[in-house]
Every structure is written in C-alpha cells, then in structure tokens.
Amino acid sequence: MIKFHILTLFPDLFSGFLKESILARAQKQGLIEIYVYNLRDWGIGKHNQVDDSPYGGGTGMVIMMEPIDVAIKEITKDWMPKKNRKILLTPQGKIYNQKKAEDLSKYENVLLICGRYEGFDERIRALVDEELSIGNYILNGGEVAAMAVVESVFRLLPGVLTKEEATRIETFHDGLLEYPQYTRPEDYYGKKVPPVLLSGNHAKIEKWRHEQAVKKTIEKRPDLLDGRD
C-alpha cells in the first residue's frame, strides 16, 4: 500500500477528487491512503502567514521557507529512510512521465508539495528529494499536478483495476501510444471495423495492433521513439 501526503493552501480542491470513481473504491479497500494538509496550519503568527514579498522587489508573493520546513518535518517525522519521497511540484521540475509513475508506485510514502502565487523561496528546494512538472505551461498552483500524480500512480497498484491487463497494454507502458480500438457496430455509415479484428486470429490481431501502435506513435508522438530502433 502507498500513502500520499499532499501539502496545499487549498485542501478543499481535493474533496471531490478523492470521493469519486476508482480512487474512492481503492481507498475503501485499503489499497491506498491519501492525506491532505493545509499549509496554513503551519503558518506564522496570528494570521497564519505562509507567504511574503520577495527580496529585491517584484510583483506577487513568495511562499516562505519556515512554514514549509516545519510542515515537512512534522509530516515525515515517523517515515523510514529510503522508502519515501518528498516532491516539489513546480514548472522548474523534470517533466513527469509514466516511468516516473511506475517508480513512485514502489514507495511507502510520497509527499507532494503544491506551490501557489509566484513560487517558492529558493531554499525550499533543498528540503525535497526532487522537483516535478506535469508540462510546459503555467497553472494557478500545484494542486492539479498533485491530482495527476496520484491518479497515474494509484492505478498501477495491484488490485486497483479489475483487469491487470488494463495497465499492461495502455498508452506509454512500452513507450508507444495505444493501438486503435473499436466496438459495435461493425459498420457505422460506411466507417468499418478493420477486418483483422473480426478474424478471430489472435496472432494476426496482436501483430496488427503492434504495427498500428508504432504507426500512431510515429505520426503523433515521434519524440517517444527517440533512441529506439
């Protein structure tokens, strides 16, 4: 079982996300535990301050070092070394991918720290194991990124999906996009299902699916084939 710990200024954003669909079921089954913490609980002074204006001037506010430092220490105080990961969600991080999701699924605890405003005090970066980004674009904060990480990881856990095969054949698992899929009817106003899928010849079907996956990857995401024969 894996435990996710999410540190955010907007914990209510996760209420619906955690209570719906497969993720809700996985929590009920004890396959995953998710804890959401409000950073303001570690804020400074009577107003629970967590941000301040940057030295040197500039627009916006920057998340302060102290609240993050104290929060991390309290959340992780009972964690065993080497089985846990502390992650800062930031546009400066390495781009998140399926391989990283598979890596994270092997940990016991994963702490996801969501940014807001103009970013973090630079010294906060030394408090975490790594920084991750879900893409080259700007969001209001790290909450959407945290949801993406949680969803991509928890579905890899044994027992979460009803069919283990579902994770094996999906897009990105082997570095290729997923092959085309069809369902009834066989002919929809002249748009027909490829005959090979109706043949019952499983060897031919698997060969066709692989060829189509390669073709689709070349056409849509050739970057995924870098360094491959």
111 and 195: one domain?
no
Pairing label, strands 32-38, 130-133: unpaired
CB 173 within 8 A of CB 217: no
109 has binding-site annotation: no
Q: Within a domain: residue 57?
A: yes
Q: Within a domain: residue 164?
A: no
Domain count, the chain: 2
136 has binding-site annotation: yes
Question: In the prediction, which pLDDT does 81 show?
Answer: 80
Q: Within a domain: residue 161?
A: no
Q: Within a domain: residue 109?
A: yes
141 and 199: one domain?
no
Q: Within a domain: residue 29?
A: yes
Q: Within a domain: residue 32?
A: yes
138 has binding-site annotation: yes
127 and 219: one domain?
no
User: The domain containing residue 27 runs over which residues?
Assistant: 2-154
> 185: cis peptide before it, omega within 30°?
yes
CB 72 within 8 A of CB 83: no
pTM equals 0.86
Domain closes at, from 95, 130, 154 = 154
How many angstroms separate the CA atoms of 110 and 115, rounded?
16
Instruction: Provide the residue-wise pLDDT of the chain in tens; the chain has 229 residues.
Output: 999 999 999 999 999 999 999 999 999 999 999 999 999 999 999 999 999 999 999 889 999 999 999 999 999 999 988 899 999 999 999 999 999 999 999 999 999 999 998 899 999 999 999 999 999 999 999 999 999 999 999 999 999 987 654 545 455 557 788 899 999 999 999 999 999 999 999 999 999 999 999 999 999 999 888 877 7
Tokens 């400066």 appear where?
A: 92
24 and 119: one domain?
yes
93 has binding-site annotation: no
179 has binding-site annotation: no
Query: What burial class does residue 31 get, using C-beta atoms within 10 Å of its C-beta: 0-12 exposed, 13-18 middle, 19+ buried?
Result: middle
What's the CATH code of the domain at 129?
3.40.1280.10
Amino acid at the residue 101: A
Question: In the prediction, which pLDDT does 164 show?
Answer: 53
Query: What burial class does residue 180 get, using C-beta atoms within 10 Å of its C-beta: 0-12 exposed, 13-18 middle, 19+ buried?
Result: middle
